[in-house]
Structure 1
Amino acid sequence: MQPSYEEKKEKFSMIRKKPHHVPPHLHNAIELVYVTKGELELGIGYELYHMEKGDFAIVFPDLIHHYQVFSKGKNEVYQFYASLELSGPFMALLQKKCPENPVIANADLHGEVKNALSCLIKDQKVSEVVGQAYLQIILYRCRETFRFIEKDSVGSNDLIYAAMSYLLSHFQEELTLGKVASALGTNKFALSKIFSGIFHTNFNQYLNEIRLNYVTSLLENTDRRITDIFLEAGFESQRTFNRAFQLRYNQTPSEYRKSWWEK
C-alpha cells in the first residue's frame, strides 16, 4: 500500500529502480531524483515536469508528488532519501520554501552535483556522515539554480489531503466518485477536478494505482493466493484486476511474482 504519508526511518538511503507509475503521496524526507536512462514525468502540485537522462530533481519534504512513465524504452532512476536533519543550514529553507521548478536539466547541472551523484551511485551503501556531506554540497549548488516560492502555494488544498487520506483508508471497499465526494462533503465535479488537475489522472485510475500497490506488496512478500489478494485489495472481479495489472506492469500477476522472487 502506498501510504498518504511515509515516515522515512533511515537517515540516508538510495534506491536504483526501473520507474513506473506511482500515485500521489508525500513523506518527511528530502528526495533526490536522478534519471540515468530513458525518461520520467515528475508531478508536484498542479505541475508535471518532464525528465530525461542526466536530469536531476529535488522534491522537498511534505509536498504531494507522483511519478508517471510514458516511454516504452529502457528507463532507470536513482532515488535518494535524506532526513531533514542532515540538511544542516538548509533546514529552514526546506521547511518553508520549495523550488518553483524542481528539475535541473543535465546541461545546467553543476559539476559538483554530478560528481556527488556519481560518488553516491558508485559507493552504493553510504554512511550517514558521507551522505550528509554530499547532500549539503548538492543543496548548496542547486540553491544557486532554483527560484524559490512558498511551499504552501504548491497545490495547497485541504480537499487534496482529505481525498488522499480517505482513499488510502477505504480503497478495499466498493467506491465510486460520488460516494467519496459525499463522504468528503463536496460534489463529484469538484473532486474530479482534483484528480485531473493535480493527480493528472481520473478517479478510477488513481484508485487502481493504490490497489495495485497493495497487490504487488503482497505478491512480493507473501505466497498467498492471487485470487485472495486481488479481492482483498478491492477489485470487483478477476477480469478488472487482470486488465489493470497487465496495463501497468505488462505481465501477469504470476509472472510478476516469479520474476520478483527470482531476483
Structure 2
Amino acid sequence: MRPIYEENEETLEISENISSHISPHLHKSMELVSVTEGTLELGIGTELYHMEKGDFAIIFPELIHHYQVFNQNSCKAIYALASPILGSGYTKDLQQMCPANPVIPAPDVHPDVNYALRSMLVYPALSQEHVLHQAFIQIILARTFPLFHLIDKSTVESDDIIYQTVSYIAAHYTEELTLPKMAHDLGISQSSLSRVFSGTFHMNFNRYLNEARLDYACNLLLHSNHTVLDICIQAGFESQRTFNRVFQERYHASPREYRNQMKK
C-alpha cells in the first residue's frame, strides 16, 4: 500500500498483498483492511488491535496508523484506499469521527462486505468504474457503520511530536526537505527529531523521506503516463541518479522495469 501520496477525489486503490510491517503514516483516504491469511496487528494512535483471518477494519481519514506482523506463517490481507467522496452520506462522520474499536470480528462481518471487496478487486483502478466503486463502498459502510461505536476523532488524535512528524512529512515530502529545516519548522531540536525516526519508525530521516517519495513515485508509475524523469522531479528527488538508486534498493528493479512488470 502507499501510505502517503497525493490523491484525486475519485481514487480507489485495492489489492490483496502479503502483510508486512508498515511504519506510522496517515493519508486523506479511508483504509479498508480484510485479513485473508494469518494475522495482523493494526495500530491506531497508541492502541494496537489484533486481527485474525476474516476480521475487517476501517481506518478513518487523517488518523496515524501502522501495521505489524508477528505471525511467522503466511499473512495476507486485502487493503483498499478509498477517497471519502466515495462514501457520500458518511463524509461528515468520516472526517470528524472514528470508531472506538475499528476491528469487526469475522463472525460479525456481513457477507456483503466480503462480496463488495472481492468485486472491487476485479476493477481496481479503472476510472470508468467510479460509479460501481461508489456503490460497493456504500454497501460496505452501510453494513459496518451500525457495528461501530463512533467517538470524536480529536480524542485519538495527538499534538505530540510523533503526530507532528508524520503530518509534516505527509505535507512536505515532495519539497526540498532536510532534518534541520523540519526541526526548525516544528520548533524542536534535531536530536529529538532524530530519536523519533530511529525509536518510533526504526529508520533515519532520509530513509523515511525516501520511502514516502517512493510510494508516491510508484503511484505515478502505475497510474500516469508521466516520464520517469518527470516522476522523479514530482516526487521530490534531487536527481534521477538518486531516484534510480533508492528505487533499485527497494524494488530490485529500475523504475522503468517496475512499471513494465506491474502493467504486465
Partner secondary structure for residue 33 of structure 1:
strand
Distance 1:232 1:36, change over 3 A: closer
Would the aligned equivalents of 2:229 and 2:240 in 1 still touch at CA under 8 Å? no
Superposed displacement of residue 121, structure 1: 3.1
Superposed displacement of residue 136, structure 1: 1.8
Q: TM-score if structure 2 supplies the norm length? A: 0.67
- The one-letter code sitting in structure 1 at the alignment partner of 2:89 is L
The aligned runs of 1:112-131 (5 Å cut-off) are 113-124=109-120, 126=132, 128=134, 131=137
Superposed displacement of residue 236, structure 1: 6.4
Name 1:35's counterpart in structure 2: 35
- The one-letter code sitting in structure 2 at the alignment partner of 1:245 is F
Name the CA distance, whole Å, in 1 between partners of 2:73 and 2:193.
31
User: Structure 1, unaligned stretches of length 5 or more?
Assistant: none
Superposed displacement of residue 163, structure 1: 5.7
Name 1:234's counterpart in structure 2: 237
Name the CA distance, whole Å, in 2 between partners of 1:104 and 1:247.
37
Partner secondary structure for residue 79 of structure 1:
strand
Q: TM-score if structure 1 supplies the norm length? A: 0.68
Distance 1:156 1:198, change over 3 A: farther
Aligned residues: 246
Superposed displacement of residue 237, structure 1: 8.0
User: Structure 2, unaligned stretches of length 5 or more?
Assistant: 124-131
Name 1:214's counterpart in structure 2: 216
Partner secondary structure for residue 32 of structure 2:
strand
Q: Deviations over 1:207-258 (max 9, x none)?
A: 111121233234333463569837963256847853x434543544343122
The aligned runs of 1:47-126 (5 Å cut-off) are 47-67=47-67, 73=74, 75-79=76-80, 81=82, 82-83=84-85, 85-87=88-90, 94=94, 96-106=96-106, 109-110=107-108, 113-124=109-120, 126=132
Would the aligned equivalents of 2:26 and 2:64 in 1 still touch at CA under 8 Å? yes
Partner secondary structure for residue 26 of structure 2:
strand
My pick for the range that moved more, 250-259 or 39-48, is 39-48
Taking only aligned residues, the RMSD between alpha carbons, in angstroms, comes to 4.2
Name 1:18's counterpart in structure 2: 17
- The one-letter code sitting in structure 2 at the alignment partner of 1:53 is K
Name 2:168's counterpart in structure 1: 165
Would the aligned equivalents of 1:98 and 1:151 in 2 still touch at CA under 8 Å? yes
Alignment of 1:135 with 2:134, yes or no, is no
- The one-letter code sitting in structure 1 at the alignment partner of 2:10 is K
Name the CA distance, whole Å, in 2 between partners of 1:47 and 1:33.
17
Distance 1:237 1:53, change over 3 A: same
Superposed displacement of residue 179, structure 1: 3.0
- The one-letter code sitting in structure 1 at the alignment partner of 2:144 is I
Counterpart pick for 2:156 among 136, 147, 154: 154
Name the CA distance, whole Å, in 2 between partners of 1:5 and 1:24.
13
Would the aligned equivalents of 1:36 and 1:77 in 2 still touch at CA under 8 Å? yes
Superposed displacement of residue 167, structure 1: 6.0
Name the CA distance, whole Å, in 2 between partners of 1:65 and 1:253.
28
Alignment of 1:185 with 2:191, yes or no, is no
